[in-house]
Amino acid sequence: MRVSTAQFYLQNSQKIGGLQSQVNQQSDYLSTGKRIITAKDDAVAFGTLAGYKDELMNIEKYQRNITQAKNRNSLQDTSFDNAQTLMQELKRIFIQANNGTLDDDDLKSLAELASNSQSQMLDIANTKDETGGYIFAGYQIDKQPFALQPDNSVNYLGDNGVRQLQIAKNVMVDTNQPGDEAFEKVANAIGDFKPNYIANTSGVSVNSALINDSAVYDSVAHPPGYRFVFTAPSDLTVTDANTNVVYPTAPYTPGQIVAFNGVEVQLDGNPLPGDELVLEATQNISIFDTIKSAVDWMNVGTGTANVTQHQVDYNEILTQLDRSLNHMTTRQTDAGIRVQLIETQSENHKDKELTISKSQSNIEDLDFAKAIANFEQSKVALQAAQQTFVQVKNLNLFNYI
């Protein structure tokens, strides 16, 4: 068979090129420490590795969200802890103010301390996160959520939005508590209504006022406030806001439950003829309103016109202070539970990441001893081909003449 010079060069060039490619490929394996670089190395294993890499990328994304979610909830935890400390101190001041030996100056000083508590609580409610966003503003993170009014009341300017972050495939976690839930919606310690005492010579007070049967309760036909009027000898009549009688005049026995329109009311004390109170619908009482009530009570001083009613107001405010303190504890607990969930999920991700990394290593890591042997073998083959080509291309017939 005749072999032309061009064919001879082409064949040898292709052969040497293939051997050079093998050397380069073995060099790539050694430099990367991987036995699978492209799909042609092992198509099945390459697909498995692609899945592992996607999982690791997702874990990295979740861990970033976890860091952010943990920071936000930890900040809430700290804020509610500070609020509890503040409420405990306010309660101590308020109890001290009920000491009958204090004069007006003493009560004024305590009222100033209580006012400072309101300012500090306002600062807590307007806490910002590391990005400068208000953590208790709902979705309105760029707008200060709580504002002090000229009458020392506090308005909420945020919304009830709850932001969330995904920390696992099927796990979302809240990153905030809206300000109305945190500071405004404190359950009324009495129940669903708040009393306004028109006349109270006996010291009677409302122990509880609850909507006991929502199916019967009709706030349209019989709207609150419900007016309780005691007449001689011990009769009670209750009318609604439209002056309709909802509890016909009947003898009242101290401690009995007064039931009407799906509402049940229980009073403390022995009411006297002429005592009168009105129940207005109030399911929640703002922490700021409770603090303001405590300050206002102390500012009355010792010159109150109705000592009996003043003591009734004190007891109700103190009870609501306890409810506010419990509310802060609940809010802090919610934040702490979320932090625990976040930390648990973070550990799960770390365990999964370690497992995937080990599996990934088992598939793609290079056996260096075998790779070096293959590299040396490929290099020797390339050198042999190069030397053979050099010697053969110099042969011709005139060498033998």
55-187+319-351 has which fold?
f41 fragment of flagellin, N-terminal domain (1.20.1330)
Amino acid at 96: Q
Q: Is the pLDDT of residue 208 over 80?
A: yes
At position 286, the amino acid (one-letter code) is S
Per-residue pLDDT at 55: 84
**pLDDT, tens digit, for every residue of 309-356?**
999 999 999 999 999 999 999 999 999 999 999 999 999 988 888 887
Q: Which pLDDT tens digit goes with each residue over 110-162?
A: 999 999 989 999 999 999 998 999 999 999 999 999 999 999 899 999 999 99
Of 320, 290, 283, the C-alpha closest to 154 is 290
Mean pLDDT of 67-96: 95
Would you state the pLDDT for residue 388? 60
Share of the chain above pLDDT 90, in %: 67
Q: What is the pTM of this model?
A: 0.78
pLDDT of 301: 86
What pLDDT score was predicted for residue 352? 85
Quote the CA–CA distance of 267 and 228 in Å, as a whole number.
11
Helix (H, G, I), strand (E, B) or coil at 267: strand
- Pair of tokens at residue 93: 């001041």
Dihedral of the alpha carbons of 307, 313, 315, 320, in degrees to the nearest 10: -170
Q: In the structure encoding, which two tokens stand for residue 293, read together?
A: 């009530």
Over the stretch 367-378, which tens digit does the pLDDT of each residue have? 445 556 554 565
Q: Across the chain, what does the average pLDDT equal?
A: 85
pLDDT digits (tens, 9 = 90+) for 225-275: 999 999 999 999 999 999 999 999 999 999 999 999 999 999 999 999 999
Q: Which pLDDT score is estimated for 370?
A: 59
